[in-house]
Structure formats: C-alpha cells, structure tokens
C-alpha cells in the first residue's frame, strides 16, 4: 500500500506530498492520492491513484532518473509528444504530466495515464482451457478474469452463446473473444497509421485491458513517423518474438506492415495460448518462421537489400511449412485465412490493417463509419544526438501543455 512519508530533505515543496511504495519515494501533486503500487519495470514503478478533483482512478508512472540514459530519455520524450496528439478509444490516454519544481535540474518524471486492470499477456498466461460447462459457473464479481479464460479458450463460440453470456453478465462484460480483441487492436492501429505513426513494439504486454474488456495500445517509446519513403535506422525495434522478417533481416526500408506482422503473432498467440515464434535469438527466430511458413520463392525475397541476409535465408534447410490449420485445429477457417494473410514473409504482399478489418472474419463486427482518422499526420522527428539539457528542456515544454499556468507562474527556474 501507499505510505505517507516526510520529504527526504525535510522541506515540503508547494503543491506536493510524499508517499513510499515498494521502497520508492513518490513526490506527487496533492490532488492525487495513491492507492497501491501495481507494476514495476526497468523504467520504475506504477501505482494506482485517485484524482481528488475528478474522483477518477488513474495510473501514475514514476520514471526514476529519467535522464540517466539519453536513449531512454528520448523514448519518454517521444511518448509525451505523441500521446499529446492522440485521441482514440483504443489508444491509452495520457491525462497529465506533473510539473517538477526545478526546471533545469529535475530528474524524475511522473506520467498520469487512465487506469487499466491488466494486459493481454496476463490474460493469455493466466487463462485455463475452459469448456462451455465451465462458463455456467461464473459469478459476477470475478467475471472479467473468468470470462477472459473461458471465451479465449473457445475459438468457435457461436453468436447465440455469446449473446447469452452478455445477457447474463450485462453489457459491461461484453464478449472478449479473440476476434473482439483483434477488432479493437486493428481499429487502434488503423488510427495510428492514419496519423503516420508506426508503433514498432506491439506485443501482448503493450495491450492493456480493463474490466469492460476494452483494449488500449500503450508504450509508444519506440514509435516513429513514416516519411512515406520508409527510411529508418535499423536500431532495435519490436520484441523479437513479434518482429517482422524485414526487421530480423536488417532491411533499411520498412513500413506499416511491420505492425501487421506483430498483430498476426498476437492473434496466433490468442488462438494457441503460446507464442507462435518463440525464437531464442534472431537467426533462430528466422528458422522458426521458415519452419512454419515454408521456404520462400525468389520473388518473395526481393525486399531483402542485404546480400548476406538473402544468402542466409536461401541456406536454410528446405521446409514445406506447417499449415496454420494444423497448429490451430479449433480455430474458425476464416480466422486461419486472416492469420495467413497477416503472416506473409514478403511485406509487400502482407495484408494491410484496413484490408484486415474488411476481411470476412472481421467484417461482421467492423463498422468503418465508427472510425475517425487522426486529424493531421504527426511529426515525431527528434534529433537522436540531443544532450541531457536539451531533452530536459523539451520535456518541460511538453509538460506545459498540461499545465499552461506554469509558463507564467513565478516558480524557481534553476
């Protein structure tokens, strides 16, 4: 739980109060009352909290020593710049960035997001294979956890059964079957792509879920804008298991299709309850892909601009591949067809997000009239060689969008 503590130097900064959670000090705005820590990562700690002004529950992420590593600081800056512009039901909302007291020397950054209950990785990991009979024993208080486990384990649950469950549980526990998760993920991704944004790190852990079974894409630290020419550096992008072949092969030119590949891997994981390509390193990752997709024709390798990479792919043992219908025998044939179109080795032949939403497996659920594209493409170009002082100043500028009064307030500037 969150424990109130005295400030470390005995001096209480105006508008701030202090809490300890998991042996970490939180110096936060007084309008936020922490409840408990809910997550920990390399970045720091996340706690749930209540905004006393709105009575809304939120998640506060503390990034400790945010400028200690310039690469990590740039990721945070990129996420701030991006989320300030994004407004979509299936993209996490950044509600506030707390203003530090010291403009030129602050070290920690506090981000305030809408509060979600879990992520898709936890649902997949914790779900057990349940039958229709198991579904009859749901109780409303823990319906979210159990319905996730049950419906995800029923690849061909009929519409009638789905409507019956909704009728019993109420609209707040609407279906969270694989196709509903896929629908909301694709809708959010379509919005991002309309804003000229490649997420570049889609994976189950970056897809947050709440008790209403709403899905929201998060973690935009690796996101980039697409120039239309597809020119990018080949730095680390995408967790390996969800990384498209063109990234594994270090191609300099790539586009929105890398996100589609990641969605395909996530969809397969929903169907099979385990990663489809759990490679131990990059070369092993490519071998696993070829083992399932089969060896590629010469014209399917034309996108590989590195001769050594192309030679390596050709040197792999011959494989006819493994039919996806054999891997997922209980999946609907239309689900298999869509998955096959997502997991295409050649990015130019991979289905687009819009085409995926219009696929017969999704079309009955998808209403294009409900989609609102981003108002304008977003420019995320940031000089990768920026130093700590400039990154800190740019981050301060981003904070002012949430606290315009601080631009003219008489606060300590150094």
Concatenate the DSSP letters of all residues of 101-149 into one string: S-TTT---EEEEEE---EEHHHHHHH-----HHHHTT--GGGHHHHHHH
Comparing 204-213, 339-348, 369-378, which segment has the lowest mean pLDDT? 369-378
Go through the domains of the chain in sequence order and give each one's CATH number.
3-115+384-407 (3.30.200.20), 178-370 (1.10.510.10)
Instruction: Report the mean per-residue pLDDT for the chain.
Output: 84
Burial class (CB in 10 A: 0-12, 13-18, 19+), 147: buried
Whether pLDDT at 350 is above 90: yes
Name the CA radius of gyration of the chain, rounded.
23
Nearest of 327, 326, 322, 321 to residue 272 by alpha carbon: 327
3-state SS class at 263: helix
Are 29 and 98 contacting, i.e. CB atoms less than 8 angstroms apart?
yes
Specify whether 201 is catalytic.
yes
Residue 27 near residue 7, CB atoms below 8 Å = yes
Q: pLDDT value at position 42?
A: 75
pTM, 2 dp: 0.84
> What confidence tens digit (pLDDT) does each residue in 306-324 have?
889 999 999 999 999 999 9
Least confident of 169-183, 216-230, 356-370: 169-183
The C-alpha atoms of residue 284 and residue 265 are separated, in whole angstroms, by 16
- The rounded distance, in Å, linking the Cα atoms of 164 and 159 is 9
Provide CB contacts within 8 A for 319, sequence distance 6+: 290, 291, 294, 295
Mean predicted confidence (pLDDT) in 171-188: 70
Kindly name the residue from 96, 201, 219, 259 that is annotated as catalytic: 201
**Contact at 8 Å (CB) between 46 and 33?**
no
What is the torsional sign of CA 7, 9, 10, 12? negative
* Alpha carbon distance 6, 399 (integer Å): 26
Neighbours of 369 (CB within 10 A): 6
Give the pLDDT score at 164: 34
Query: What is the sign, positive or negative, of the torsion defined by CA atoms of 290, 296, 301, 303?
Result: negative
pLDDT value at position 173?
A: 35
DSSP state of 366: -
Is 62 marked within a binding site?
yes
Alpha carbon 391 to chain centroid, angstroms: 24
| 251 has pLDDT over 60 | yes
Do residues 342 and 268 make contact, with C-beta atoms less than 8 angstroms apart? no
> What integer is the mean pLDDT of 273-278?
96
Q: What is the pLDDT of residue 127?
A: 56
Span 355-404, pLDDT tens digits: 999 999 998 888 888 888 887 667 777 888 889 999 999 999 999 999 99
d(CA 262, CA 200): 9
pLDDT digits (tens, 9 = 90+) for 85-134: 999 999 999 999 999 999 999 999 999 999 999 999 998 888 544 222 22
How long, in residues, is the chain? Answer: 414
Cα 35 from Cα 14, distance rounded (Å): 22
Segment (H or E) for 35:
strand 32-41
Closest-CA residue to 270 (of 327, 220, 321): 327
What the block records as the tokens of 185 is: 């993920």
């Amino acid at each position: 739980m969150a424990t109130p503590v005295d400030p470390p130097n005995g001096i209480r900064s105006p508008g701030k109060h202090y809490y300890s959670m998991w042996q970490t000090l939180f110096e936060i705005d007084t309008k936020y009352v922490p409840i408990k820590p809910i997550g920990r990562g390399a970045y720091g700690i996340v706690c749930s909290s209540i905004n006393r002004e709105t009575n809304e529950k939120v998640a506060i992420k503390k990034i400790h020593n945010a400028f200690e590593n310039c690469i990590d600081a740039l990721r945070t800056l990129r996420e701030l710049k991006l989320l300030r512009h994004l407004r979509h039901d299936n993209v996490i909302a950044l509600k506030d960035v707390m203003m530090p007291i010291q403009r030129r020397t602050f070290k920690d950054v506090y981000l305030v997001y809408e509060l979600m209950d879990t992520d898709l990785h936890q649902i997949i990991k914790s779900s057990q294979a349940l039958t229709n009979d198991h579904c009859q024993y749901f109780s409303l208080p823990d319906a979210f956890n159990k319905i996730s486990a049950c419906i995800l384990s029923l690849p061909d649950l009929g519409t009638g059964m789905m409507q019956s469950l909704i009728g019993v549980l109420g609209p707040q526990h609407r279906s969270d079957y694989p196709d509903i998760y896929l629908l909301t993920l694709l809708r959010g991704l379509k919005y991002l792509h309309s804003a000229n944004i490649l997420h570049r790190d889609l994976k189950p852990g970056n897809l947050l879920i709440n008790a209403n079974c709403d899905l929201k894409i998060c973690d935009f630290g690796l996101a980039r804008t697409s120039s239309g020419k597809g020119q990018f550096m080949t730095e680390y992008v995408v967790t390996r298991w969800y990384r498209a072949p063109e990234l594994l092969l270090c191609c300099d030119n790539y586009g929105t299709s890398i996100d589609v590949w990641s969605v395909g891997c996530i969809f397969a994981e929903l169907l099979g309850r385990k990663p489809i390509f759990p490679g131990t390193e990059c070369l092993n990752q490519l071998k696993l892909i070829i083992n399932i997709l089969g060896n590629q024709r010469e014209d399917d390798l034309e996108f590989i601009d590195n001769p050594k990479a192309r030679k390596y792919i050709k040197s792999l043992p011959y494989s006819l591949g493994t039919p996806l219908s054999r891997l997922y025998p209980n999946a609907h044939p239309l689900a298999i067809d869509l998955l096959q179109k997502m997991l295409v080795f050649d990015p130019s032949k991979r289905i687009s997000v819009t085409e995926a939403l219009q696929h017969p497996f999704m079309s009955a659920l998808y209403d294009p009239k409900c989609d609102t594209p981003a108002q304008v493409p977003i420019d995320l170009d940031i000089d990768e060689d920026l130093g700590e002082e400039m990154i800190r100043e740019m981050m301060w500028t981003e904070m002012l969008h949430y606290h315009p009064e601080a631009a003219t307030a008489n606060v300590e500037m150094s």
